[in-house]
Chain A
Amino acid sequence: MRWRGRPCIPAGIRACPIRSAVIDQVIDVLLLILLVITAIAVVRIKSLFAVVMLFGIYSLITAGIFVVLDAVDVAFTEAAVGAGITTVLMLTTLARTGHKQAPARHSPALPLTVVIITGAVLFWGTQDMPRFADPGAPIHLHVADRYIEAGPEEVGVPNMVTAVLASYRGFDTLGEVAVVFTAGVGVLALLGVRRRRKGDGDG
């Protein structure tokens, strides 16, 4: 018995699909409402300090949505990177730049029009997307079967995500690590790390 593409653990006739359907939908809707509220708050609030904290909350809610979608690895990354380290790095950036948004000098009509049109086009585009968890979706027809069926024998790692990221797509991951390294080198080249002397305005 399956619900939204995932097997129901207690494969009972009654209990599993009904309960999990209602609870999943309630949690989905609640998380999405929270996401919209946070997004609106981010747009309206002028204090950048509060905006950074709200972005952290936004990432945490997104991580919750990923958990509901059974994408635990992605949720973990979102929580650690989006809610955790990005928030700290943005706060340290604010400490260098100031934490008040500059007042707008132009009317919001043109940007609003662009955003509404873009949003409408994107929404229109979702009509062409395959249904959620559709096994016939193009992304599931290429190599996914091979990863799922042959992964345990070929790689022998219980976590399929690790098998794909570290072994099947090892070259991609090497590229990602190179990107992180480049980011570090870039920051070092621009700012550098200076050890502050004692009594040098150390607060």
Chain B
Amino acid sequence: MDKNVVLVVFAKILVPFILLFALYVQFHGDFGPGGGFQAGVIFATGIILYALVQGVDRAMAVMPPAVLKPMMAIGVLLYGGVGIASMLLGGHFLDYGFLAHDPIHGQHYGILIIELGVGITVAAVMMVIFYAFMGEQN
């Protein structure tokens, strides 16, 4: 890595901003363009950039595959869980209006949580696919 000092230093500066932007896109999706899917991809891109310049092993120390594999499922379960919760509270599947006393608040909570689920699954899947592809080369 010593031969690409500019690349390594620049990537190091960029990564936190990419991750922060991902969180902004995640939680600002109700107001601006974006949402869980884009946020998940951008978050994964930040970690992948780190892996490309610092090596996969160091990226795996930050985001271990053992953590990412369950996260893949947790996102989907979070999404489905919101659907089940709205059923238990008296509505249809994914009918967020029943999640709070005010239907509009319920919609807000529902959208926030399912977008989080989307973001978690997408980010975890993208990183896992990248790890899998990088795994046995050389």
Q: Known contacts A85-B44, A174-B83, A202-B57: does B135 contact A193 (CB below 8 Å)?
A: yes
A187 adjacent to B128 (CB under 8 Å) = yes
The CA of A106 and the CA of B41, in the complex, are separated in Å by 39
Write 7 A-B pairs (CB below 8 A) sorted by A numbering. A89-B129, A96-B137, A162-B30, A167-B107, A177-B79, A190-B132, A192-B135
The CA of A80 and the CA of B46, in the complex, are separated in Å by 11
CB closest residue in chain A, given B117? A177
A73 adjacent to B35 (CB under 8 Å) = yes
Please tell me the number of chain B residues within 8 Å of chain A, measured between CB atoms: 58
Chain B binding surface, main DSSP class = helix
The CA of A174 and the CA of B10, in the complex, are separated in Å by 37
Determine whether B96 belongs to the interface, using a CB cutoff of 8 Å to chain A.
Answer: yes
Distance (whole angstroms) from the CB of A98 to the closest CB of chain B: 11
The CA of A95 and the CA of B138, in the complex, are separated in Å by 8
B122 in complex: contacting residue of A180, A192, A202, CB < 8 Å = A180
Contacts of A119 in B (CB 8 A): none
Chain A binding surface, main DSSP class = helix
Distance (whole angstroms) from the CB of B23 to the closest CB of chain A: 14
Q: Give the interface residue-count category, chain A.
A: 35 or more
The CA of A25 and the CA of B138, in the complex, are separated in Å by 49
Contacts of B38 in A (CB 8 A): 76-77, 80-81
Contacts of B14 in A (CB 8 A): none
Contacts of B45 in A (CB 8 A): 80, 84-85, 88
A72 adjacent to B33 (CB under 8 Å) = yes
Determine whether B73 belongs to the interface, using a CB cutoff of 8 Å to chain A.
Answer: yes
Contacts of B93 in A (CB 8 A): 171
Contacts of A158 in B (CB 8 A): 30-31
Cβ contacts B28-40/A at 8 Å (1 or 0 each)? 0111111101100
Cβ contacts B69-106/A at 8 Å (1 or 0 each)? 10011011001100100000000011010000001100
